[in-house]
Structure 1
């Protein structure tokens, strides 16, 4: 339960898009607790277990995927929300749902879908997240979507700040259930966005080192990591290096979390309501200038050494080709789609393109690979790089 005046209050929620009855028979939960549970029980959430985080279709069992990443983000988000007196359940729901819109193969899959829909409004994984939760996921007999609270939906729509130029998907959803796109989101949503940064900045280091794409000596060219590494070795001089590296990642996460809490607490001082947060004209959840600079440097390092590693670039190229070929195949011959999807394929060109993209975006990495094998008889080499 939140304890601060600037926290979102589930009892004062702006409600859901569609009225529902009989909710009290399913346990004494707040609106935001119900949202979290609806997300966890959704098919779209389960599919995150088969979607790439950094490495496409990894053979190793120890690499992160979208699902495990989302759970780690939620753990960080809850800690920060609790420390700030925010609503933990809302923060957790936002953290768990934030990657649901990702297609197979991560950003290379997104780029392929955006290219395929270039003449029909484009494609964006953040907006598709809202589309999945509000329209495509259908667990109820008489309504569309998961019917989540307004606060969850607006937080997902605006977790990176106000949206000045929404794409077609968000325009349609906002017209049906307005989300105040010109304002900032709640503090819980802002915390969830930075919890995501903390999680992937540091856990991608862990996976990159494990895969051999990152080298410790290169990592230690970042002075703040070098200082933490020296401190770890001083505390645990006889520990094996793999354990020292895990200690380094934990220390880095802890330092970023503590800085986020202190800085955000100061920014929230004097605010008397969640509306004050939305109308502040700036993000209130933030790192200090020192740690914001460090986070930018770390992210730049990861892009240079991990995300744009030559093997990663080649894998992304192959993955892009797979998604582009699947889209073209379904567009040319809808009978190749699953029955439920081909039977509901619209005639209008834009709606048809978006329908095919919805089908592909819901695939896991391995399902997309299997579809490519079924249609074209092969799987391009280099699609799994670890």
Structure 2
């Protein structure tokens, strides 16, 4: 059941481009329509073949950017429901939060940031707004998906206020002001912490599955050790390997329960009565308790040292970083290599020319980028299995 704190679709600040009344294609409110537009977007489908942690994994059981987004949405809806927030808006934000990621995750992003440095750079969060307001345009009357203000606002600043937006975010804000200096609504705050919970835990699962994480080393993290002790107490006769996913489930449960309790306490202490008051408060209400936030930081430090920055992962990141740079250079040197629609829309001068080429490369999936590199530049050498 929703409460007064929930964003009300009937009181939405609207869409950038007015739409005719009655053109809803079914009994859906504004936030439900946003969620559905995201699910049906080409950019959302492409997340199926974009890196989460492992690049173009051979194994079918590793997460990709799409399955990550689905897991974030499941966790986000659970928290939103417990807090009486708008579940549909929360789900829309969770599903779309990574839609601006280029191929190969953060390695691809770093490469695009470097090659576009003189044109303003590249940031996946700003690019998410660019995709949703300009690039993915399935409707005949307007560019982009024409999402509500609340969805675009939450995506722009789900990690907090933005004092110095990058050019893409500033462009979206100039066209449809998103109050970037304020905190976002509660649904966006929930989406942000759901993202942390999801990737903390599914990266543990994938790291153990890939053999890049060792359970013994992982148990040096107090939060994990305490949770593992509870798992072993319930299942003393089950082999360790069969309990890996039970550990992950319990960790998610611990984190979700903590966020719900801590957020309820902060809301009560602050005395906020609606989402707008939450925006003006000047700090986040939804998140971990101080104690669990400290423990979660220790877990993240372990994951960076032992998974994200492991020698094998760094070697793969370096390889795909070079791949994206070379692919961008090929299109920049000879724009006739672009598909016809992209070639015809190519601006004549920078920074718009460089940004246009970066838009095209950023939209690629891992496998399409690898295929185009082989065709235009040369062989791609990546370690087997990842």
TM-score (norm: length of structure 2): 0.98
Q: Residue 32 of structure 2 corresponds to which residue in structure 1?
A: 33
- C-alpha contact (below 8 Å) 1:219/1:225 kept by paired residues: yes
Residue deviations 1:86-130 (CA, integer Å, cap 9, x gap): 000000000000010000000000000000110111100000000
**How many Å separate the matches in 1 of 2:107 and 2:157?**
23
Q: Residue 334 of structure 1 corresponds to which residue in structure 2?
A: 335
**How many Å separate the matches in 1 of 2:382 and 2:41?**
33
Q: Residue 173 of structure 1 corresponds to which residue in structure 2?
A: 172
**How many Å separate the matches in 1 of 2:21 and 2:179?**
29
Q: Residue 84 of structure 1 corresponds to which residue in structure 2?
A: 83
- C-alpha contact (below 8 Å) 1:315/1:385 kept by paired residues: no
Q: Residue 351 of structure 1 corresponds to which residue in structure 2?
A: 352
Q: Residue 134 of structure 1 corresponds to which residue in structure 2?
A: 133
Asked if residue 102 in structure 1 is aligned to residue 105 in structure 2, the reply is: no
**How many Å separate the matches in 2 of 1:25 and 1:43?**
20
Asked if residue 115 in structure 1 is aligned to residue 114 in structure 2, the reply is: yes
State the Cα distance separating 1:204 from its structure 2 match: 0.1
**How many Å separate the matches in 1 of 2:382 and 2:232?**
41
Deviates more, 1:222-231 or 1:273-282: 222-231
Root-mean-square deviation over aligned CA pairs? 1.0
**How many Å separate the matches in 2 of 1:10 and 1:321?**
45
The alignment partner of 1:283 has SS state of coil
State the Cα distance separating 1:47 from its structure 2 match: 0.2
Q: Residue 262 of structure 2 corresponds to which residue in structure 1?
A: 263
**How many Å separate the matches in 1 of 2:272 and 2:343?**
52
State the Cα distance separating 1:171 from its structure 2 match: 0.9
State the Cα distance separating 1:65 from its structure 2 match: 0.2
State the Cα distance separating 1:377 from its structure 2 match: 3.1
Q: Residue 361 of structure 1 corresponds to which residue in structure 2?
A: 362
- C-alpha contact (below 8 Å) 1:6/1:276 kept by paired residues: no
- C-alpha contact (below 8 Å) 2:108/2:324 kept by paired residues: yes
**How many Å separate the matches in 2 of 1:239 and 1:260?**
30
State the Cα distance separating 1:3 from its structure 2 match: 2.4
* 1:1-386 matched pairs, under 5 angstroms: 3-21=2-20, 23-269=22-268, 270-382=271-383, 385-386=385-386
- C-alpha contact (below 8 Å) 2:137/2:144 kept by paired residues: yes
Runs of 4+ residues over 3 Å off in structure 1: 22-25
**How many Å separate the matches in 2 of 1:90 and 1:121?**
31
The alignment partner of 2:132 has SS state of helix
Residue deviations 1:129-182 (CA, integer Å, cap 9, x gap): 000000000111120000000000000001010000001111111011000001
**How many Å separate the matches in 2 of 1:162 and 1:174?**
13
Deviates more, 1:190-199 or 1:330-339: 330-339
State the Cα distance separating 1:22 from its structure 2 match: 5.2
Unaligned runs of 5+ in 2: none
Residue deviations 1:324-364 (CA, integer Å, cap 9, x gap): 00111000001111111111110011000000000000000
**How many Å separate the matches in 1 of 2:61 and 2:89?**
29
